[in-house]
Structure 1
Amino acid sequence: MQSPFFNQREDVLKLYDYLVAGKHLEEEKFLEKDRVYRKVYPKEPYNDAKLRQVNHFLLKQLEQYFAYTELSADRFNFPIAMLKAYRKRRIERAFHKTYNALIKAGLALPELDGAGLKHAFALRDEYASFMATVDRTQDIGLQQSIDAFDVQFIAEKLKHACLALSHEKVVRTRYESRLLDSVLQVVAENESLLTYPAVTIYYYIYLIQTKPEAESEEDYFALRQAMDEHSHLFSPTEQRDFYLMALNYCIAKVNKGFAPFWREAFEIYKYAIETKIIMEKGVLSRWTYLNAALAALRLDEYAWVEELIRDYTQYLEEQHQQNFASYCQARLFFDRKRYQEAMQLLVQFEPSDYLLNLNAKAMLLKMFYEEDEWDALDSLLESMRTYLKRKEVISYHKANYQNIVRYTKKLVRLNPFDKNQVKEFRDEVTTASPLTERNWLLEQVDRL
């Protein structure tokens, strides 16, 4: 506000300084009109029109500052604007100098994100418009302008088609995307378009979201290669979007029994957490943290789980840090068969989140069973039954944990020498749904 570029009024600066001081914007008493007016115009009687006027000027100056800051964040905005200014004023030498500088800066290359492709089109369009004023009978670069527009349009069309598909899974709505079929056909028939990362990444994301699973794995690995090579070209927000789309594909695959995609899911979690692109405003979702740990444990990536707990717990919301770190540490001990250490963490573990609570109880249940802690197991099963009865739990999760309790009780009472009883139990466990601990229950039957 002190810069004459944005503001030349002293009363606007006084108003700004007062508003941002201390907690003046947080408490209503500091925003009373009379009080504000006395701070800005201490020697004048209250004038409501004058106060509204200075408020208006401050708002306009702030809007200009915010707009300038946004424009300055992109290194191509001002050179493109200067190119346009030189064209309008027919300053030929300065125009060509700026144009050539932008070409050297990379706007003629395919390695651009969506914003870069928009600038590339603006560059070519300004050139064609300028050359048309010089000599319309010569090559004015119009084909390059058309090509740049096509690439920009195709990239944006594919990006928004992917975002629409993802959003349709979250809300009950359907998006209509005109010309999308034509765009997909153009890309399929013109391999040169796949030299543009902004086209390639969203083209393959669209394919893995729409093709039958049996036909989409090749497209997924083409997508991973493109992301690994070119993700640095995109903003952290955009990287987060397309890595989450790829991650959702992997999760869907493992949920349907394609175990090799645990490795793919883990690698995406690892990259997204270590680069922090998956964080929002510096905060890591507790569920992303937990799911990343579980994916790593499926692959015996114990060292990385230790790293996750040590280095990234601090990025969880403060109220969730201790519980989620304790759970992941207990799960790490559990997977390493260090049951006593895991039990010590979990016996007094009572998080407010019911899913984390039930997951912890299921882990304790398995350890008590495997360690022949029958009294502790019996007490735990009863407490889980009571917890599920009195707690509001989503129906799927309630049914799942009720089945875990039911079949663990049956397992304890199972006569290993009664083959018919064992077979009947195995058949029940195999067909029961939902039942996330199916494999563990079947493993215990095999050990009888």
Structure 2
Amino acid sequence: MQQSKLITLLRAFTATEHKEFRKFVRSPFFNTNENVVKLYDYLYKYAPGFDSPRLDRQKVFSFLFPDEPYKEIKIQQFASLLVTLIEQFWIHNDLKEPAPDATLRLADAYRQRRLMMYWQKTLSGIDNLPPTNAPDAAYYQLQQQIQQHEAIEAQEKREQEPHLQEVLHKLTVFFTVSYLRYGSKALNFRRFNPQQDYNMPLLEEVVAYAAQPENTGNPAMQIYLHIWLSLQQPDDETHFEGLKSLLMQHHHLFTRPEAEEMFVFAHNYCIGKLNKGQQRYLRELFDLYRFEMEHGIINPQETLSASVYRNIITIAQLLGEWVWMEDFINNFRQAVGEDTYIFNLARLRFLQKRYTQTVELLQNRQDRFGDVLMLLAAKSLQLKALYELFMLDTDGVSDYDDALETFIASFIALLQRRKKELLHHYVYYLNLTQKVRQLLTQQLSGRVKPRFLLALEQSVQKTTEIAEKAWLLEKIAAAKTGNG
């Protein structure tokens, strides 16, 4: 049964869900078949992996029906009943949360039973529920008006206008917000995939409607309008300024995932401007990220994607926001994991020229970095820090020359051991270690030869497959001038 749908669903359960489902499957309201309870209890013994050989179909059947010959169709029947219960359990749990669709269903139940006072009260309660994404919110508002319309029609009073203007208005809002949202996604995708074309025949009308003065009070519509315009007319910076202002004013009206998605459009606009050399957008991008963190849109209690984390670190570094950068690294320690935390804290210490702390952080971690590329980056950072310490130790009291030589040898040994795993990265880091070793040998000789340094510099410049090339050329140039 390991490959069955039933086992796949059970593997997706959390420990809490298993605890709740044990009660659910025993509730006579949802299940009256004792064999389904027995089946779940038997399977649960092998949670959470559900990979025991005791889950063979025939063994499970023998447990349920010890006196009967094996029947495939019978075990399938009970497995299907348990799958249905799991699906009902998930739906039931979702409906326990305060959500507009559940409230709409309850309101409709009151209306069908002509309990109009409770219907009206329940229907109006939708406005007080937690935020949902903008198209869904517009949809639920539309459904509110449709229920009002149906309630009037049910009274069969032909002289009473059946609430159709409100229905039509909410229908237009729902359509406009949805069209702008997904139209913006389509346009954004096309920026990176020019061969992709989309047919959006009503676009001009939708944009014109959203831009009408009576719609300025609809934050969702205005945000998606400004997203669309910033994509369509990127040279007009007023669209970005409007988007930024709207996001900072109204972000709390949306679910966190949708607010995050809205901010990503603003990020991409800034990145597009930076790619065109407009450096002031570096500060704009930094301010957006900082605002998102201050308001919980980017949350340190949840996993942060590696790309977003790298972007934030790089921006803070380029702006010289060292104190903020350190706070960010410490606050998001759990969100990114220990490897990423240690590496970026060590990198910050290196940028602050606190080389001893850089080495200490990386030595304590040693070879425990799980990601091989991060391991290589950490090793090269430690190599650079040791070289800087060696150059600062002009009196030779700390034996950094020995430490550096030993580290280079161990780094090369690591590269040799993991050569097959490293693929083309092997050459980049091997070239780095060899060139640093040549530079170190020249420094230790007591007499730096300009011709040798020139040849080394030219060799590095010609080598395309080498890590930390800019730093290495900087150190060679410093050695040529006698400053390092």
TM-score normalised by structure 1 residue count = 0.74
What CA RMSD, in Å, does the superposition of the two structures yield over aligned residues? Answer: 4.8
- Correspondence for 1:125: 146
Q: Deviations over 1:299-329 (max 9, x none)?
A: 3333333333333222225xxx2x3223211
1:9 aligns with 2:33: yes
1:291–1:43 Cα change, 3 Å = same
Alignment match, 1:290: 310
Structure 1 residue 99 and structure 2 residue 115: aligned? no
Match of 1:49 among 69, 73, 77: 73
Residue of 255, 258, 261 corresponding to 1:241: 261
C-alpha distance 16-274 of structure 1, shift in aligned 2 (>3 A): farther
Q: In structure 2, what is the Cα distance between the partners aligned to 1:303 and 1:276?
A: 20
2:228 partner letter: Y
One of 312, 316, 326 as aligned partner of 2:342: 326
Distance 2:229 2:375 in 1: 35
Aligned equivalents of 2:313 and 2:202: distance in 1? 38
Question: How far apart are the structure 2 equivalents of 1:179 and 1:363?
Answer: 57
CA–CA separation in structure 2 for the residues paired with 1:209 and 1:102: 38
**Cα distance in 1 for residues equivalent to 2:191 and 2:293:** 24
For residues 54 and 386 of structure 2, the distance between their equivalents in structure 1, rounded to whole angstroms, comes to 59
Distance in 2 of aligned mates of 1:131 and 1:164: 40
Secondary structure of residue in 2 paired with 1:195: coil
Is residue 206 of structure 1 aligned with residue 225 of structure 2?
no
Moved more, 153-162 or 59-68: 59-68
CA drift at 1:8 = 2.1
1:142 deviation in Å?
Answer: 0.6
**Unpaired segments ≥5 residues, structure 2:** 1-24, 393-399
Question: Structure 1 vs Structure 2: percent identity of aligned residues?
Answer: 23
Give 1:20's aligned residue. 44
Q: Distance in 2 between matches of 1:187 and 1:437?
A: 54
- Correspondence 1:308 to 2:328: yes
- 1:204 to 1:128, Cα distance in 2 relative to 1, 3 A: same
- Could you tell me how far 1:211 is from its partner in structure 2? 1.9
Q: For residue 158 of structure 1, report the CA deviation from its aligned partner.
A: 1.4
The 2-side partners of 1:172 and 1:59 are apart by 44
Give the match for residue 373 of structure 2.
Answer: 354
Q: Provide the rounded CA distance (Å) in 1 between the counterparts of 2:449 and 2:247.
A: 51
| Contact 1:284/1:315, CA 8 A, preserved across alignment | yes
Residues 210 and 225 in structure 2, CA contact (< 8 A), matched pair in contact too: no
Superposition pairs of residues 339-378 of structure 1, within 5 angstroms: 339-345=355-361, 352-354=371-373, 357-358=376-377, 361=380, 365=384, 368=387, 372=391
Specify which of 65, 78, 81 is matched with residue 105 of structure 2. Answer: 81
Q: State the match for 2:53 in structure 1.
A: 29
Corresponding position of 1:260: 280
Q: CA deviation at 1:101?
A: 4.1
- In 2: Cα distance, 1:263 partner to 1:43 partner: 75
2:319 to 279, 283, 299: 299
* 2:353 alignment partner in structure 1: 337
TM-score by length of 2: 0.69
Matched, 1:38 2:62: yes
What is the aligned residue count? 420
Give the Å deviation of 1:370.
Answer: 10
Distance 1:36 1:166, change over 3 A: farther
Contact 1:113 1:197 in 2 (8 A): no
- Tell me the equivalent position of 1:178: 200
